[in-house]
Amino acid sequence: MRKWILLGLLIASFPSVSSAAAPSSFESKLSEQLTAIKDSSQIIVVEGKQTSYQATLRTYEKRGSKWIQTYKTAAVIGKNGLSSSKKEGDGRTPSGLFPIGEGFGFAQKPARINMRYTQTNHYHYWVDDPGSPDYNKWVYYRGNPDKRWKSYERMNHFLYKYAVVIKYNEDPIMKGKGSAIFLHRWRNPSSPTAGCVALNERQLLYVMRWIMPSKQPRIVIGDQASILADLRSSTK
């Protein structure tokens, strides 16, 4: 009898694998929608809300004919939530489906990173001055930035130890529609961004190592309804 009691206690101490792995209703719909994607084998899904900076990031990869969720973690987005019509300085993260660009950071390129990676320095800028022809462009400039632009970001910023470019508002670039949208490390889980997507550094490095440029990675950002709609419209 004592053996059976001990065995019961041991089994009860472990969570059910099936219940822990059971997908949510949204995840089930997401997996179904992803099956229609033909031009990419890796998708990053950032699920947020219109008025909150708290978000969830998932990674999906196509293996054979099936899309598999490979990772899920907490994320933060813009301090004012999401926007489908982003404007410069509104504190919102743009919703939509975007290509993934290159990696960068003021730290040396981490091991096992497959994407192109630039180690930034004092002369790397991303221009967020809507009146400049350099708007929403990465510029290497050795002169005085204050004489060239009214607003800019230094690419060796504290939060950009490691980061990935999200190719938002690039084709074509529309003045005032938002700039410098990256996936980068967060200050902490209670600190929103100015419009980017941010993760804990360890999780960020995991995602950066997971990204394979040959698989045409993309990122979809939004609430549940807009994510499914954007994926659906991309296959038409």
Residue the block writes with tokens 């060239």: 148
pLDDT > 70 in the chain, percent: 91
For residue 204, give the nearest of 20, 57, 53, 48 by alpha carbon. 57
DSSP letters for 11-37: HHTS--HHHHHPPPHHHHHHHHHHTT-
- Per-residue pLDDT at 23: 74
- DSSP label at residue 67: E
Q: Is position 184 annotated as part of the catalytic site?
A: yes
Number of Cβ within a 10 Å radius of residue 79? 16
Q: What is the pTM of this model?
A: 0.89
Q: Any idea which residue has 């003045």 for tokens?
A: 175
pLDDT, tens digit (0-9, with 9 covering 90-100), for 110-121: 999 999 999 999
Q: Which of 122, 124, 157, 196 is catalytic?
A: 196
Buried b (16+ CB within 10 A) or exposed e, 87-116: ebebbbbbbbbbebbebbbbeebeeebebe
Using CA atoms, how far apart are residues 199 and 207, in angstroms rounded to an integer?
10
Reduced DSSP (H G I as helix, E B as strand, rest coil) percent helix, strand, coil of the chain, to 5: 25, 30, 45
HSE, CB side, 13 Å, CA atoms: give it for residue 21.
Answer: 6
For position 150, what pLDDT does the model report? 98
Tokens (6 digits) for 26: 């949204």
Q: Which residues pair with 56 in a beta bridge?
A: 47, 74
Per-residue model confidence (pLDDT) at position 12:
38
SS3 for 68-104 is EEEEEEEEECECCCEECCCCCCCCCEECEEEEEEEEE
pLDDT tens by residue, 197-210: 999 999 999 999 99
Average pLDDT, consecutive stretches of 10 residues, N- to C-terminus, the chain (236 residues):
42 35 84 91 96 97 94 98 97 98 98 98 98 98 98 97 98 97 98 98 98 98 97 86
For the question of residue 196 being annotated catalytic, the response is yes
Among the listed residues 122, 124, 157, 184, the single catalytic one is 184
So what's the pLDDT on residue 6?
Answer: 40
Q: For all residues of the chain together, what is the average pLDDT?
A: 91
Find the helix packing angle between 25-34 and 224-234, rounded to 10°: 10
